[in-house]
Amino acid sequence: MGTSQRDRWAEWILNRRHGGDLDERKAHLEELAPVRETILENAGIRGGETVLDVGTGDGLIAFGALERVGSQGMVIFSDISRDLLDVCRSRARNAGVEGRCEFVTASADDLAGIAAASVDVVTTRSVLIYVDDKRRAFEEFHRVLKPGGRFSIFEPINAYFPSSPNLFWNYDVTPVSHLAAKLRAVYERAHPPDSSPMMNFGERDLLEFAQLAGFEELQLDLNVEIVPGVWWGSWEAFLNAAGNPLAPTLAEAMAEVLTEQEAAEFEAYLRPLVDAQQGIKRVAVVYMQGKKRGREGEAD
């Protein structure tokens, strides 16, 4: 399938997320490896169980779950992108594990294709951040889980850090803040801070939604870092990457609102910072897990 034929979700995960740079993709996957392991470990997956990975993307969590459920287990790959499900199906076939996989087109807040009380574990990674009705998503997780079933999720909390006029994509842009403001407006049109599902929730909201859905034994770990950080290995990857499936690349945003002279000024200032890897790592993420009540008198 050519890139022009992919839906926006598949095109972002497979290309635009890392600016089409294979080295950046490799580095990104290395960063995600401990996230994947923490999600799977928190899920407490046992051999023979059925795991539903919601918003599976290219299968990062789902393929890890396959290793844990063993030959008698099953993993359901669920995503709104049929293109990504096709990618996962192809990879499963090539790995000889397709017989232990199911592929379901569904959104996190409408898992109608999954029967009630049919799975042992639900996992997600950076999925609810795109969902308008997060409470409904937790209700769906609860519905499809068997009594005693568990969920394990990971979500960025973008709203933890208010927008700063002197920061742009985690770089200090104070000397060119007037140009950064023009670019920031492009992204805020795509994701209004007060209404975008990426910005309008915090960790306490997730906890409340899980409780309202009926989950018990909840645990939430908020990890916050503000330290010097390396974000990109090259200017070209940085320029051609999009922060999420709904956002433009930096190159696209610059072309939209900056003149040639302004674009040259912005690049002249920012490119040396990117090349020197002088970014600021500002990250707030949540790991959360919970359990559906078991049947009365039933051992977990």
Which single residue is written with the structure tokens 């290219």? 58
- Residue 128 has, within 13 A of its CA and on its CB side, a CA count of 32
Of 244, 235, 246, nearest in space to 278 by CA:
235
Output the pLDDT for position 8.
93
For residue 299, being part of any structural domain is answered with no
Determine the Cα–Cα distance for residues 100 and 50; give it in Å rounded to an integer. Answer: 10
Output the pLDDT for position 232.
85
Residue 195 banded pLDDT, cuts 50, 70, 90: confident
Determine the Cα–Cα distance for residues 122 and 7; give it in Å rounded to an integer. Answer: 25
Determine the Cα–Cα distance for residues 267 and 262; give it in Å rounded to an integer. Answer: 9
- Residue 139 has, within 13 A of its CA and on its CB side, a CA count of 8
Output the pLDDT for position 296.
55
Beta strands in 171-296 (DSSP E): 171-172, 215-229, 279-292
For residue 47, being part of any structural domain is answered with yes
Output the pLDDT for position 277.
87
For residue 249, being part of any structural domain is answered with yes
For residue 298, being part of any structural domain is answered with no
For residue 52, being part of any structural domain is answered with yes
Q: pLDDT per residue over 119-128, tens digit each?
A: 999 999 999 9
- Answering whether pTM is above 0.85, one says yes
Backbone dihedral angles phi then psi of residue 171, each to the nearest 5 degrees: -125, 145
Residue 22: pLDDT above 80? yes
Count of the separate structural domains present in the chain: 1
For residue 300, being part of any structural domain is answered with no
- Provide, rounded to the nearest whole percent, the portion of the chain with pLDDT above 90: 81
Determine the Cα–Cα distance for residues 138 and 16; give it in Å rounded to an integer. Answer: 29
Output the pLDDT for position 6.
86
Domain assignment of residue 160, given as a range: 3-292
Longest Cα–Cα distance in the chain: 72
H/E stretch holding 77 reads strand 74-79
What angle do the packed helices 260-275 and 177-190 form, to 10 degrees? 90
For residue 159, being part of any structural domain is answered with yes
Residue 252: pLDDT above 90? yes
> In this structure, which long-range contacts are made by residues 237-241, counting pairs with CB atoms below 8 Å and at least 24 apart in sequence?
237/18, 237/19, 237/20, 237/21, 237/23, 237/24, 238/19, 238/169, 238/274, 239/19, 240/16, 240/19, 240/20, 240/21, 241/16, 241/17, 241/18, 241/19, 241/24
DSSP state at residue 6: S
Determine the Cα–Cα distance for residues 282 and 98; give it in Å rounded to an integer. Answer: 39
Output the pLDDT for position 293.
94
Could you tell me which residues come within 8 angstroms of residue 283 by beta carbon, excluding any fewer than 6 positions away? 156, 223, 224, 225
DSSP H helical ranges for 70-176: 82-95, 134-144
Determine the Cα–Cα distance for residues 77 and 52; give it in Å rounded to an integer. Answer: 6
For residue 297, being part of any structural domain is answered with no
- SS3 call for 266: helix
**Is the distance from CB of 163 to CB of 234 less than 8 angstroms?**
no
Domain CATH for 26: 3.40.50.150
**Is the distance from CB of 76 to CB of 100 less than 8 angstroms?**
no
